[in-house]
Every structure is written in structure tokens, then in C-alpha cells.
Amino acid sequence: MELKLHDTQTREKRVFTPLDKTNVRMYVCGPTVYNPPHIGNARPVVIFDILFRLLRLLYGEEQVAYIRNITDIDDKIITAAKQQNITITQLARSVEKQFHTETEQLLCLPVTASPRATDHINEMQKLVQALLAKNIAYIAEKHVLFNVARQNDYGTLSKRQLSDMIAGARVEVAPYKQNPHDFVLWKPSAEDEPGWDSPWGRGRPGWHLECSAMSAKFLGTTFDIHGGGIDLLFPHHENERAQTCAASGEKIMANFWIHNGYVVRDNEKMSKSLGNVLLTSDLLEQFDGETVRLALLSGHYRQPLDITTQKLQETKTQLDRLYRVCKPDAEVRERAASAKPDAEFLNALLDDLNTPKAIARLHTLAAEIVSENDSEKRGAVNEAPGTEESPSAVSATDKKVALLAAANLVGLLSQNPDTRLGYIVQNDTDAARLLAEREDARRDNDFAKADEIRASLASLGYQIEDTPAGPRLRRLSEK
């Protein structure tokens, strides 16, 4: 099995080979926790969860480390906390908590570690010292800056020429910068701003520095995969790479740089200024996490993805259908847990995480189960009682196992189908009692009473479905 991934550094799809297959290492930039997470934050969370699952399948669950940081010190956090009249810690912890809750609702596996920037100030200061000692950084007006001119391959990750960048620079450049693209490693904090003592005065780290320090601490200065949204490529990832490589003396920070595309709305980038930002919490109020997860996987990760209410509604219908068709019983679940994933499904994922193709395969498997079931029904009419199980029955179960194993691999169809589809009995004693009374009425041929009870159940929000295994209740007010 060969995993191919598109590497931004080389701009090509390459075969992924870990530096050490007993310790496969991935770092993904996590959120800056200053405002409620939006769907653009949720996309990399789900995409890199798929990659994490795939790496665990290929190299073993214990052999893969996935680090996703929390940026909890940043100018945006300071500004937002001031506006809300709370401390930055109060704001950062509350947004961080929300982010983790939503990540769970999106059915992502827990990451290996989720380090906070403020817990690693010491490591950041050491990195600044190393860069100063190498004369790659300089001090100016209480700032410590990275001198991009001293890093001769600066710009190679994002394919930008330093000379073009200087010519194109329109931003007002701070007078103490030697080069307009020199970036802050450490900056001074005003008295009312959070800060830490340092050899350069009380201050705080620059954003790029945080990720270099934390990735080095958890994964070393060279590791396998660095991921994040494409909006982070420049300047964030370029600067991370520059700092890490300058300090370590290595040419490579990450062997693969993987970037996911934007979430767009009506073909426009989501942005605060356009007022079209879609919060993850708003979506999770209208739709369950699994539906949102599947919708985020519906497009290829490198392409822009348009998320609309209509798309989410269609996704929910598709997902419910998969649950209805698969309806895994204990046997199917048990077999799926140890089954080899379907080859076509897996090959799609191994080919640069082609999730749309993989999902299409799930639907094909579902369609095959339906047709197997239909032919079983037809077969049953012609078969004499007592004949052995027909070969098609075996193959319908096999297909269910294949569908469930494939879906589970990407974190889908792992919920209780009865809960998912709104079938309940156990937690609503009134409804359960009414259903039993209706059964009694029907047994007594009191159909008027049975109809009355059906109406009462409907007013409680339940529909009765009569199945070969007996009547079942289904909640009408589905999410």
C-alpha cells in the first residue's frame, strides 16, 4: 500500500515514506482562540483527522504522533479580551473549550497532544536566543526580529522571491526593520498587556515562533508532515520553516507540507468583512456532527469547498440512507471491526486523500446491498422452506461488513443506527406504554382504539413503523 500526498514544497504528488516508520510525526496549526470557531477552522480539523486515521492504519495506532497546537497568546486575543472586558486567559480558555467540544462533535479522534503557546514561553525564548547567537535575528527597539536576508532559501516554500516581495510591499514598514519582510520573534508588551520577562525586556512571542517551538519540542526539528489551511502558507509557514531551519541548520522542517483549500460561500471567501462567516456552532445546532463531517469530506481537500444549507440537507439524507441500508447488527459490527477495508475505497484515500471518490464507493456498496436484499426477497418466494441460506444472503452481509468497515475508517456510521435514525423506545416510558397498549388493542381487534393511540403518539412526536420484527417508534422531529 502506497500513500501519495501532494506536497506544497515540491508542488507535486509524492509517495509518502516516513522518516521513521515506528514514529510517524504530524504537526497541524491549531486555532488562535479569540472568537468562536468557524467552518473554515473545522475543515482542516476533519481533513487531518482522515490523514491521521490513514497513517494509523498504515503504520499502527501507537506509531503515529499528531500534534495540534492552541495559539492562546496573540494580538487578536488581546484586542478581543479588552473589548469583552475579560482577561485573555478567560477568553482563550473558553474558546479553546468550545473548539475541543466541536472537534469531538465532528467525530475526530483525540490528537496526541494539544499544546498551548503560553505553556512554552521558555522554549520560544531559547529559540530566539539560538537565532540571535547565529546572527540571524537582531534586536531593534525592544523587538527581536528575524532577518530574512540571512536565510538564503527564504520564500522557497511559498514560491516567492524576496526581491519581488520587496518590490510589491505596500504595507507600512516599521522603521526599525532592516528589511520589510523581517518578522517579529519577540515584541514588547505595554503595561496593561500580558507579557513575560525576557533578556529583551517584558514582552510576548510572535505567532510564527510559537509553532516552531512547539513542533520542535514534541516532534523534533525535522518531522514528516506539517499541515494547515492554505491561508497559512505565507507568511506563517514560510516563517515557521525559516526559523526552525535557521536554528537547526537543517534544510528541511517537514518532509511534506500539506494545505487544505478555503471554505467558500457562494464562491466568495468567507471573511469577517464580507459578513458571511459560518460558525461551526450554528451548523451544529441545525445538523448533527456526522452530517457536517461528511459534508466537509464531500470535496477534495485541496479544492475550495462551498458549504450551503442545501448541501448539508442533502448530505444528511445520504447519511441516513447509508445507516438505513447498513443497519449493522452485532455480527456485522464485530466482523467490520477486524475486516480489511474495501480496496477501491482505500485506494481512493491513498491517492492524496480523494474523499469524494471514497464516499462515492460507500454509496456504490450501499446500492449493491439494496439489490442483494431485493434478489434475496425474490429468491425467498421460490425457495422451499428449510433450504440453506442462499449465497446472496451471505454476500449481502459481506457487503454490509465492507461498507461499515470502510465508513468506520473515516469516522462514519459508528453511531447507534436506532439513535441516529430517531428510533427510540427505552427513554420515553409514555411512548413505550402507548405502543404496548396499541398492540393490545390490535390483538383485541379494537382498531378504533389503535388508531386513537397512533394519533396520541403522533402528538408526542412519534410515528409507528410496522416491521417484520414488530412495531417500532420513530421520532418525527429529527434534527
Nearer to Zn ion, 240 or 372 (CB): 240
Residue 216 is a binding residue for Zn ion (CB under 5 A):
no
Considering only 59-67, 171-179, 206-214, 393-401, which stretch makes contact with Zn ion by CB under 5 A? Answer: 206-214
SS3 (DSSP) at 265: strand
Nearer to Zn ion, 67 or 326 (CB): 67
Instruction: Indicate the angle between helix axes 121-133 and 207-219, nearest 10 degrees.
Output: 100
Q: Which three cell numbers stand for residue 286?
A: 441545525
Nearer to Zn ion, 259 or 300 (CB): 259
Nearer to Zn ion, 236 or 293 (CB): 236
Nearer to Zn ion, 29 or 73 (CB): 29
Q: What is the largest CA-CA distance in the chain?
A: 93
Site string (159-198) toward Zn ion, x via CB under 5 A: ----------------------------------------
Nearer to Zn ion, 29 or 128 (CB): 29
Q: Tell me the C-alpha distance between 288 and 312, whole Å.
A: 10
Minimum distance of Zn ion from residue 25's CB (angstroms): 15
Q: Which three cell numbers stand for residue 444?
A: 383485541
The one-letter amino acid at 54: L
Considering only 105-113, 208-216, 328-336, 348-356, which stretch makes contact with Zn ion by CB under 5 A? Answer: 208-216
SS3 (DSSP) at 178: coil
DSSP category for residue 389 = P
Site string (13-52) toward Zn ion, x via CB under 5 A: ----------------x-----------------------
User: Which residues on neighbouring strands pair with residue 183, listed in sequence order?
Assistant: 146
Instruction: Indicate the angle between helix axes 39-59 and 289-296, nearest 10 degrees.
Output: 80
Minimum distance of Zn ion from residue 49's CB (angstroms): 18
Q: By CB under 5 A, how many residues form the interface with Zn ion?
A: 2
User: Which residues on neighbouring strands pair with residue 65, listed in sequence order?
Assistant: 25
Nearer to Zn ion, 106 or 211 (CB): 211
Minimum distance of Zn ion from residue 210's CB (angstroms): 7
Collect all residues with Cβ–Cβ distance below 8 Å to 405 and sequence separation of at least 6. 336, 337, 339, 340, 341, 342
With beta carbons less than 8 A apart as the criterion, state whether 145 and 186 touch: no
Q: Tell me the C-alpha distance between 51 and 353, whole Å.
A: 7
Q: Which of 211, 332, 401, 407 binds Zn ion (CB under 5 A)?
A: 211
Task: Tell me which residues touch Zn ion (CB under 5 A).
Answer: 29, 211
